[in-house]
Chain A
Amino acid sequence: GQSLEQPSEVTAVEGAIVQINCTYQTSGFYGLSWYQQHDGGAPTFLSYNALDGLEETGRFSSFLSRSDSYGYLLLQELQMKDSASYFCAVTGGFKTIFGAGTRLFVKA
């Protein structure tokens, strides 16, 4: 079967750094993606890792370890607008499987 595990909720303060972990079990793996979704809105793409290591895009970084079937999203200099749900997603072939999402609450 295919499954992704990520924490259901994370709370952090403005200006801090937060890490959202994702472990996966899939048949067929091309890469790990991260999406952000604000309440009532559409998911938007944040990052993609196909190879082991860290990818940095502005305040957001994403890490992948294929041997551990593990990745994380790192958000730095948190802002109130970062309060949203974050989904990890595994692409294997033509399908993309999404995790249940991590709700991030950023406090002032």
Chain B
Amino acid sequence: DGGITQSPKYLFRKEGQNVTLSCEQNLNHDAMYWYRQDPGQGLRLIYYSQIVNDFQKGDIAEGYSVSREKKESFPLTVTSAQKNPTAFYLCASKEGGRAGNQPQHFGDGTRLSIL
């Protein structure tokens, strides 16, 4: 079945450590997104990518980095510069284009905590 796979499901980060969250999709979607969700809050956009080898900062990109070397993969690195990384991270994808009628498909998320 087509879908989005995020791993790991749970991740713990030590002080000063960079960690990378994986996101893979086999939906052949052009666009991919990373969101952060804090308890009781909505989704805030970290980074997004419309095509391979191109990505744009979202609203809260500081302390995060991404790459888009393959269409299927959009990993997110939470760097040591992100002082409050504890959150639920969601990856999404959708078919390309500006129109909104294509829904975003979400992975099951990664819950990141500080040790």
Chain A residues in the interface with B (C-beta under 8 A): 4, 30-31, 33, 35, 41-45, 48, 50, 87, 90-91, 93-101, 103
A48 touches B101 (CB 8 A): yes
Bound Cα distance A103, B58 (Å): 25
In the complex, how many angstroms separate the beta carbon of B114 from the nearest chain A beta carbon?
A: 19
B31, B45, B90: which contacts A97 (Cβ < 8 A)?
A: B45
Contact assessment for A93 and B106 in the assembled complex, using a CB-CB cutoff below 8 Å = no
Minimum Cβ distance to chain A for residue B35 (Å):
8
Whether B109 and A98, one on each chain, are in contact in the complex, defined by CB atoms closer than 8 angstroms, is no
Interface of A, secondary structure class, is strand
What A residues does B101 contact at CB under 8 A? 31, 48, 50
Shortest CB-to-CB span from B92 to chain A, Å, is 8
A-B contact count (CB 8 A): 62
Flag if A50 contacts B100 (CB, 8 Å).
yes
Q: Which residue in chain A gives the minimum CB-CB distance to B106?
A: A42
Cβ-based interface call for B98 (8 A): yes
Query: What is the CA–CA distance of A45 and B93 in the complex, to the nearest angstrom?
Result: 12
Q: Kindly provide the distance from the CB of A46 to the nearest chain B CB, expressed in whole angstroms.
A: 9
Determine how close the nearest CB of chain A comes to the CB of B96; give it in whole angstroms. Answer: 9
Q: Is the CB of A93 within 8 A of B98?
A: yes
Cross-chain contact A94 with B98 (CB below 8 angstroms)? yes
CA of A44 to CA of B107, assembled, Å = 10
Do A43 and B90 touch across chains, with their CB atoms under 8 A apart?
Answer: yes
- Additional A-B contacts beyond A31-B101, A41-B109, A91-B100 (14; CB < 8 A): A33-B103, A43-B104, A48-B100, A50-B101, A87-B42, A90-B100, A93-B98, A94-B50, A94-B56, A96-B45, A98-B43, A99-B42, A100-B41, A101-B41
